[in-house]
Amino acid sequence: MPDLSSHLLQRIANRKAIVGVIGLGYVGLPLIDAFTRAGFTCLGFDIDSKKVDSLTRGQSYIKHIDSKRVSDWNRETGFSATTEMKRLGEPDVLVICVPTPLDEARDPDLQYVTGTAEQIAASLRPGQLVVLESTTYPTTTRDVMVPILNRSGLKIGTDYFVAYSPEREDPGNPNFTAAGIPKVVGAMDEISLQVARALYDCAVAGTVPVSSCEVAEASKVLENIYRAVNIALVNELKMLFDTMGIDVWEVINAAKTKPFGFQAFYPGPGLGGHCIPIDPFYLSWLARKFGHTTRFIELAGEVNRGMPIYVITRLAEFLNEQSKPIRGSRICVLGVAYKKDVDDPRESPSFVLLELLIARGAVVTYSDPHVPLLPAMRHHHLPSMKSEALTEGFLAAQDCVLIATDHSAFDYELIVKHSQLVIDTRNATANVKEGRERIRKA
């Protein structure tokens, strides 16, 4: 084994290796938490100076990583954060956790991956391990990132090491932290795989080695396609069952009593989060390059993207029953985070719902205990808003309350009791007993 890999393996085993994490968001911070708990010193990199300043003060900006943990990193392990990418040569390990969005044509946008790789190449030194965790299409590591890193003049597998290990973070899930989820690991060569496995074995529940970076990349895309297709299926069934007067939630609850052969997925107002609405289209794009079509993926995307329109159409029907148009109606959207009990608004369908309502002339407000100010989003243009308190008077003044995210903090008994009309897209009001005549499912 080359001396450089032996030296790095020894530093990892002794917890002397410094772990650099690039991208201090919903993936990067939990990963830092896992490595610091394992005894490693971490150095965080981000272009957002506000994030760096917050972490330096010991303050977290992500709900499921509390500020005490950040203070513990600073005090116990010497953690620090920086915007200075010239310091990328300091860590022994560099883990890339940058966004991989879609562009306006719904094609992969790898500008953050390539930009990060270029910055790493400028300071890459012998003995470093570079791991890409950002979700992407198979061949990205080999065909996009590695050629950029090779501009350093160093030889992969001898002078430096490269692996791909997809993130598996589930924000807001207390049962599965970053440290508690097994990590799939693929690498460019056997030595890189050995070094990457040694690193992750120190910090997570276990590693699942695979034969290549491409297999690791494909495994992550498969996980998200599986969920996207099944969610599209129940969304399509929901629309059919609504027409037939059948409650899809009752159907799912009945079906999931079968102890084998069925996994429950649930409908909603659209897909949210950074992974499921985006990642399947990475594979669709790659398939087109190889002359293939991915009909399941494309159809699932079509169904899921159409759900906000369906919800607004149903809302209009329910308001019409009360002789009210959408234009001029006061409508409050409950929840702008993409899923229950998190503060993550990425790709949330609530932003589409708000846009559709505003375009139709509604007087729109929102309430979300986890998102006090409506954040600016790259693909949405909404006015500045702050979360409204759900008082009895505020609820009574609304023509309609639209439940888009079923946060536990919402008092659904209170909401139903004092609202004129409640549109429930999440079955959040299932246990409300009084006032059910004011509830409509959509």
Q: What is the DSSP letter of 171?
A: T
Q: Where are the domains of the chain?
A: 3-211, 233-441
Does residue 376 surpass a pLDDT of 80? Answer: yes
- The helix (H) or strand (E) run that includes residue 193 is helix 190-201
Q: May I ask the CATH class of domain 3-211?
A: alpha beta
> Nearest 10 degrees: CA dihedral of 247, 262, 265, 181?
160
Does residue 276 surpass a pLDDT of 80? Answer: no
- The helix (H) or strand (E) run that includes residue 216 is helix 213-244
Query: Regarding predicted confidence, which is higher, 216 or 176?
Result: 216
Q: Which of 356, 365, 284 is nearest to 330 (CA)?
A: 365
Identical fold between 3-211 and 233-441: yes
**How does residue 284 score in pLDDT terms, banded at 50, 70 and 90?**
confident
User: How are strands ordered across the β-sheet holding 207-209?
Assistant: 80-82, 41-45, 18-22, 93-96, 129-132, 161-164, 183-187, 207-209
Per DSSP bridges, beta strands 439-441 and 422-424 are: parallel
Give the count of beta carbons closer than 10 Å to the beta carbon of residue 179: 15
Q: Domain 233-441, what architecture?
A: 3-Layer(aba) Sandwich (3.40)
Q: What is the pLDDT of residues 94-118, one digit of tens each?
A: 999 999 988 877 788 999 999 999 9
Q: What is the pLDDT of residues 416-427, one digit of tens each?
A: 999 999 999 999
What does pLDDT average to over the chain? 94
pLDDT of residue 104: 75
Q: End-to-end CA distance of the chain, in Å?
A: 61
Task: Write out the E strands in 13-160.
Answer: 18-22, 41-45, 80-82, 93-96, 129-132
CA distance to 109, 342, 393, 437, per residue, from 412 (Å):
40, 18, 15, 14
Per DSSP bridges, beta strands 80-82 and 93-96 are: unpaired
CA distance 260 to 215: 28
Does residue 383 surpass a pLDDT of 50? Answer: yes
**Catalytic positions, written as ranges:** 275
Mean pLDDT of the 354-378 span? 95
46: left (phi over 0), alpha (psi -120 to 50) or beta: beta
Q: What is the pLDDT of residues 38-83, one digit of tens each?
A: 999 999 999 999 999 999 999 999 888 999 999 999 888 899 999 9
Residue tagged 């946008």 (tokens): 109
Instruction: Looking at 256-401, list the stretches that DSSP marks H as alpha helix, in order from N- to C-terminal side.
Output: 279-289, 295-305, 307-321, 349-359, 392-397
**How does residue 2 score in pLDDT terms, banded at 50, 70 and 90?**
low
pTM: 0.91
> What would you report as the CA-atom Rg of the chain, rounded to the nearest whole angstrom?
24
Give the count of beta carbons closer than 10 Å to the beta carbon of residue 390: 20
Give the count of beta carbons closer than 10 Å to the beta carbon of residue 304: 24
Mean pLDDT of the 325-338 span? 97
CA distance 206 to 201: 6
Mean pLDDT of the 288-296 span? 89
Does residue 1 surpass a pLDDT of 70? Answer: no
